[in-house]
Structures are given as structure tokens and as C-alpha cells.
Amino acid sequence: MQLIEITEKRTKKLFHKVPHLIYKDDPNWACPLEGMVESIFEPQKNPSFKRGEAIRWVLLGADGNPVGRIAAFYNLDKAKIFEQPTGGCGFFECVDNQEAANMLFDAARDWLKSKGMEAMDGPVNFGENYMNWGLLADGYIPQGFGMPYNPPYYVQLFENYGFQVYFKQFSYHLDTTLPELPDRFWKVAEWVAKKPQFSFKHFSWKEKEKFIDDFAYIYDSAWRFHEHFKPIDKDDLKDFIYTAKSLIEEEFIWFAYHEGEPIAVFVMMPDFNQILAKLNGRITMWNLPKVMWLKWRKTMTRTRSLIIGIVPRYQRSGIEAAMFWHLRPVMYRKPWFTEMELSWAGDFNPKIVALYESVGGKRMKTHYTMRYLFDRNKPFTRAPIISPEQAKKS
């Protein structure tokens, strides 16, 4: 077998060919847009390159056909928040062959070592964690937009190499066609929503800069107490918003304020995977009419929540229920959306797990974020659980 670094058009084509070989008979897979994947590896489009680097390889079998691929990357700002500098590997695809997988993991490990890293997480994204993050370990059903999908045997490939679970990520599904949440929930939600000190606004492109600032403020406030906190990069956020502009529905993104100060955010998007499954990885001038027709035909019947963030001192105020109260009439106007995916909740954050379960979500999928320590004699430590006491410190 032969490893080839991705450097030009021909090798990029090989990189994108691998998943088509892996999932050719899997109806649950939706091919990500090649352009969106490529943008992750373009310094002019991905702000993570400001303090980092990335590299990709494809693995060819004895017959010259691709059998696997992987990317490795690091961001110095994020790498150094851990006890050992930690990079990442991702966009991993491979046939069911441990030798092939090991060659790919070795390439990522050795490159990261040469850059001063002492561990690697995988499979993860070269950017924020609400996209392309985690190894599917349970719930082999169609995934929400941006949520990774892989064959079951991938877990064994990672574990056999020596990766261990750093934390688990749970996704919950809410069937919006079932009887609604209890009246008590909506009474509390309305009561909080109408308190004069609180106000609520949905995202608007006309005020996008203000909402980006508000999102960053809420995100940083909500996660500042975490042991490995790293402020969000606004450029990363802007890049995602503009990349996904055609998918964003303004009334699916809600902000809450206390006397004008941003305190909570809920971000949801239509599940574009339901269209991507029919496009084979590309939007071209030839299939763009098909995309528009599929949107018009209401092909997207699911939504995916990317994030819910609440400043800790308001987490017991009912503010999340109030945001759902404002979202409720929006969903009434769009009855073709019959399912909501709430993803993802880390097992290190029991508050978010409890929130998703309290609104009626059913746990449907589990992803793993896995870590490999380069020093094989070093004790492995799992991600710490966030306690209520930690959250109150914020």
C-alpha cells in the first residue's frame, strides 16, 4: 500500500473518491458537499490556519485504487489548553483493514509529532465542534447535516490502534407530530417569555454583526468555567454563517436577553442532508434546478439544532423554555418539519443532557471523541464532568 499526500487536483479527486467506495451500498449516508470539505483545507477560507496547519493523505491499495484517507491538523490556541499539546485527525475513511487504518493513523501521528504535538483527538474537525466531529458508535440511521456518519467497524479500527474515548456525544430526536409537551411546560415558557426584563429576537441578516457578537458573548460566558475553555473565534463563526447562508432560516435562530444583555442562544437549521443524499456530493449548474425543486417540494422534513448556550446564572430561569415558546409558532407555520434533532450533548455536561430529555428528546445516536496519547506509558485521563458547582462560578 502507498500513502500519497494531497497536493493537487488529481489527488484531491482521489480524496473525495474514497467515501463513495466505502458507502456505495449504504442508503443512510449523505455525501457531504465536496466544496464545503475543500474549504476546510484552504487557508484563505478557514480561520484555523491563522495559528495552525493541516495536511491530507490518501492510501492506495496494491491495485492502485484508493482504500483510505485521513487529514491531520493542529491549532496552537486549542492545542495548548490541554496537559499535553493535542492536535487532531479527521475526515477518516477506510476499508475494513486494520493494517490500512494503522498506516493512516501513523501518518497523522508522525506529522503531528513533528509539529510538537503529544496527542491527537479523532475523528474531529479543523474548526469548531458543531460540524464534522465524532465517531458514530450507536445509531446507524440517517445523520443530521454536519454530523458524521461511518460504518460500525470504524470503532474497532480506532480502538485497536490505541485510541480511547475522551468523551461521548449524544444526539436526541424530537418527533414534532406527537402530542405536545405538557401544558405546564408551555405555561412556564409563556410566563418567562413575557417577563419584562427578558426580550427575545431571532437572527436577522440585516443585523448579522450584532448577532455574531452576541453569539460569541453567550458562548464564551457559558463555557468559561470549563477546564479546557477556549474563546470562540469570531472569524470561524462568520465563515460558517456565510458558508451555510443558503440553509439558514432566520426564525430558526433565537437569542434571549436580560435587560439588553445577551444570555442565551438556540441555533437550528433545516437538515440539508435530506437533499445532499440525492446530489452525490456536488451542486452544479446542471443539478441546481433539482436542488431548488427539492426545497420547493419540502424534501427537508427534519431540523438539526447545532447549539444551545445559556449563561450559567440563567440556566435555572426557564429561559430555554421561553425560546421554545417563541419557536413554537414558527414550527406551526412550517408543518412539513416533523422531526427535530438536538445535537450534540456531551456526556461531560449533564445539564444539557437533562435539558434535551426534559423537552421530550429521545436519545438516538452516540458519537465518540477519541484521544490517542503518543507516550503510550502516560496515564489516560477522560474529559472531566462539569459539576453544578463549576457552572455557578461563572
307-326 pLDDT, tens digit each: 888 998 898 888 988 998 99
pLDDT for residue 394 is more than 50: no
Q: Which of 83-92, 118-127, 184-193, 196-205 has the lowest mean pLDDT?
A: 184-193
pLDDT for residue 11 is more than 80: yes
Mean pLDDT score, 192-205: 95
The band of 295, judged by pLDDT with boundaries at 50, 70 and 90, is confident
pLDDT for residue 386 is more than 70: no
pLDDT at 387: 53
**C-alpha distances in Å from residue 121, one per residue of 74, 147, 344:** 10, 17, 17
* CATH of region 174-366: 3.40.630.30
Residue 123: is the preceding peptide bond cis (ω within 30°)? Answer: yes
pLDDT for residue 129 is more than 90: no
- Identify the three-state secondary structure at position 7: coil
**C-alpha distances in Å from residue 277, one per residue of 90, 147, 294:** 21, 14, 11
Which cell numbers in the block locate residue 123?
A: 475523528
pLDDT for residue 136 is more than 90: yes
User: Do 126 and 71 touch, CB atoms closer than 8 A?
Assistant: yes
- Identify the three-state secondary structure at position 58: strand
pLDDT for residue 391 is more than 70: no
* CATH of region 2-167: 3.40.630.30
pLDDT for residue 164 is more than 50: yes
Of 113 and 231, the one with more pLDDT: 113
pLDDT for residue 58 is more than 60: yes
pLDDT at 70: 98
Distance CA 71, CA 59 (A): 11
pLDDT at 390: 47
pLDDT at 225: 60
User: Do 32 and 283 touch, CB atoms closer than 8 A?
Assistant: no
**C-alpha distances in Å from residue 219, one per residue of 198, 207, 243, 249:** 18, 18, 20, 20
Can 2-167 and 174-366 be said to share one CATH topology? yes
Distance CA 354, CA 346 (A): 11
pLDDT in tens, 246-266: 788 999 999 999 999 999 999
Amino acid letter for position 333: R
Residue among 130, 151, 96 at smallest CA distance from 219: 130
The band of 171, judged by pLDDT with boundaries at 50, 70 and 90, is very high
DSSP symbols for 251-268: GGEEEEEETTEEEEEEEE
Delimit the domains of the chain by residue range: 2-167, 174-366
Which cell numbers in the block locate residue 299?
A: 424534501
Of 244 and 224, the one with more pLDDT: 244
Chain mean pLDDT for the chain = 90
Burial of 20 (0-12, 13-18, 19+ CB in 10 A): middle
DSSP symbols for 284-306: -TTTHHHHHHHHHTT---EEEEE
pLDDT in tens, 324-346: 899 989 988 999 999 999 988 99
pTM of model > 0.85: yes
- Identify the three-state secondary structure at position 199: strand
pLDDT at 12: 95
Mean pLDDT score, 26-48: 92
Distance of CA 127 to the CA centre of its chain: 10
Mean pLDDT score, 60-84: 92
pLDDT at 161: 98
Q: Which of 96-100, 152-156, 233-237 has the lowest mean pLDDT?
A: 233-237
Distance CA 142, CA 274 (A): 9
Residue 344: is the preceding peptide bond cis (ω within 30°)? Answer: yes
| 9 Cβ neighbours under 8 A, 6+ residues apart | none
Q: Where are the alpha helices (DSSP H) in the chain?
A: 9-22, 34-40, 76-79, 98-114, 153-161, 183-193, 208-223, 234-243, 273-276, 288-296, 319-333, 350-358, 388-392
pLDDT in tens, 111-128: 999 999 999 999 999 988
Distance CA 319, CA 248 (A): 23
Of 386 and 359, the one with more pLDDT: 359
Give percent above pLDDT 70 in the chain.
94
Give percent above pLDDT 90 in the chain.
64
The band of 184, judged by pLDDT with boundaries at 50, 70 and 90, is confident
pLDDT at 49: 94
Mean pLDDT score, 19-47: 93
